[in-house]
Amino acid sequence: MIFAIINDIYTKGNSMKKKVLITGANKGLGLETALQLGLAGHTILITSRNSDNLKNAMNFLASHQIQSFGYIADMLKEDDRIQLAKNIALDHDYLDILINNAGTQLDFPSFMPGNSSETVSQEVLKNTFEVNLFAPIHLTQLLLPLLKKSSAGRIVNVSSIMGSLALHADTKSPIYGIKLLAYNSSKTALNQFTIHLSEALNGTNIRVNSAHPGWVKTDLGGEYAPMSLQEGVKTILDLTQEHCPHGSFIHDGNSIPW
């Protein structure tokens, strides 16, 4: 009897323990997400494009009693993404949650009012789209077989309010004056991926959403951002939960105009 109860608790505990992959998790929102999900007892897989940064992030997690699996992958490189998916499939039978977090903003040195439409280079456009759009699409496609083995798969595309076409067309919107063509349009296209993939996954156990974390103090968000990392990961964490929406663009529990 005692064994049965212990076994029951163990089984329930295990069923709530998820396997989570977070890309670009050596710092910023990615690392904080890994920390929070690790503290909640989930199995953490993280990626970084730099081995020292990866080691430091894994040591940081270990200092919080979180053992993680670390993988090197430069999201600019197609071959790295393919190798990453192969390595994950070798180490893990399934994946519950994929957080496409790695991202880059190359238009301007930081978030500032301005418009890069007349000046943005082909190199900046291509590199931004490679990391912010092609990589999440590619990696998601490569990992879908593992996600389909989960009883409740979740894909979180870490997008941005900067990808909202509706708000960029509205002269009264607070983001109207921040026209970073490469970054903003890469996130708009990422949102389109969320919408398209959600339709493709209707009727499966997998839910996919776009998250806007808010304007958060990170290397990408800059020093003037008002939100802390802990506040910034809230939306990402919400979208990993059982009762999350499907095919939505969310910030802090509310929908954002596409």
Ligand X SMILES: NC(=O)c1ccc[n+]([C@@H]2O[C@H](COP(=O)([O-])OP(=O)(O)OC[C@H]3O[C@@H](n4cnc5c(N)ncnc54)[C@H](OP(=O)(O)O)[C@@H]3O)[C@@H](O)[C@H]2O)c1
Q: Return residues touching ligand X (CB under 6 A).
A: 24, 26-30, 48-50, 53, 74-76, 101-104, 131, 158, 160, 212-213, 215-216, 218-221, 225
User: Quick one: 7 or 230, whose CB is closer to ligand X?
Assistant: 230
C-alpha 195: how far from its chain's center? 16
User: Quick one: 24 or 38, whose CB is closer to ligand X?
Assistant: 24
C-alpha 186: how far from its chain's center? 14
Torsions phi, psi for 167 (to 5 deg): -75, -35
Positive or negative, the CA dihedral 33, 34, 35, 39 is: positive
Q: What DSSP assignment string belongs to 233-245?
A: THHHHHTTSTT--
Buried b (16+ CB within 10 A) or exposed e, 205-220: ebbbbbbbbbbbbbeb
User: Quick one: 38 or 103, whose CB is closer to ligand X?
Assistant: 103
User: Quick one: 158 or 178, whose CB is closer to ligand X?
Assistant: 158
Residue type, 257: P
User: Quick one: 89 or 231, whose CB is closer to ligand X?
Assistant: 231
CB contact set of 54 (below 8 Å; sequence gap of 6+): 26, 46, 47, 48, 70, 71, 72
Minimum CB separation of residue 119 from ligand X in Å reads 21
Minimum CB separation of residue 131 from ligand X in Å reads 5
Minimum CB separation of residue 172 from ligand X in Å reads 21
User: Quick one: 99 or 147, whose CB is closer to ligand X?
Assistant: 99
Minimum CB separation of residue 121 from ligand X in Å reads 17
Minimum CB separation of residue 140 from ligand X in Å reads 14
CB contact set of 18 (below 8 Å; sequence gap of 6+): 37, 42, 43, 96, 97, 150, 240
Minimum CB separation of residue 228 from ligand X in Å reads 11
